Amino acid sequence: MKLLEGKNVIITGASRGIGKGIAQIFADHGANVAFTFSSSEGPALELEKELTAKGVKAKAYKSDAASFEASEQLVADVLKDFGGIDVLINNAGITKDNLLMRMGENDFDQVIETNLKSVFNMTKAVQRTFLKQRNGSIINMSSVVGVKGNAGQSNYAASKAGMIGFTKSIALELGSRNIRCNAIAPGFIETEMTDKLDDKVVQSWRDEIPLKRGGTPEDIANACLFLASDLSSYITGEVLHVNGGMLT
Residues interacting with ligand NAD, by CB under 6 A?
12-19, 36-38, 64-66, 91-94, 114, 141, 143, 186, 188-189, 191-194
CB 35 within 8 A of CB 114: no
**Cβ 128 to ligand NAD shortest distance, Å:** 21
- Judged by beta carbon, residue 83 or residue 245, the one nearer ligand NAD is 245
- Quote the CA–CA distance of 232 and 225 in Å, as a whole number: 9
**Cβ 124 to ligand NAD shortest distance, Å:** 16
Q: Element (H or E) spanning 185, and its range?
A: strand 179-186
Secondary-structure percent of the chain, ordered helix, strand, coil, rounded to 5: 50, 15, 30
- Quote the CA–CA distance of 178 and 216 in Å, as a whole number: 31
Distances (CA, A) of 91 to 18, 65, 181, 209: 8, 10, 14, 23
Residue 60: DSSP 8-state = E
Q: Is 157 annotated as a binding residue?
A: yes
The reply to whether 156 belongs to the active site is yes
- Quote the CA–CA distance of 4 and 229 in Å, as a whole number: 6
Q: Is 156 annotated as a binding residue?
A: yes
- Judged by beta carbon, residue 112 or residue 193, the one nearer ligand NAD is 193
- Judged by beta carbon, residue 9 or residue 189, the one nearer ligand NAD is 189
Non-local (6+) Cβ contacts of 163 within 8 A are 90, 115, 116, 119, 140, 141, 142, 146, 183
Q: Is 62 annotated as a binding residue?
A: no
**Cβ 18 to ligand NAD shortest distance, Å:** 4
Q: Is 14 annotated as a binding residue?
A: yes
Non-local (6+) Cβ contacts of 9 within 8 A are 26, 31, 32, 33, 34, 85, 86, 87, 88, 89, 228
**Catalytic one of 37, 108, 130, 156:** 156
Q: Is 136 annotated as a binding residue?
A: no
CB 77 within 8 A of CB 52: no
- Judged by beta carbon, residue 150 or residue 178, the one nearer ligand NAD is 150
What is the bridge-based pairing of β-strands 58-62 and 8-11? unpaired
Q: Is 171 annotated as a binding residue?
A: no
Active site residues: 156
**What residues form the annotated binding site for NADP(+)?**
13-16, 91, 156-160, 189
**What residues form the annotated binding site?**
13-16, 91, 156-160, 189
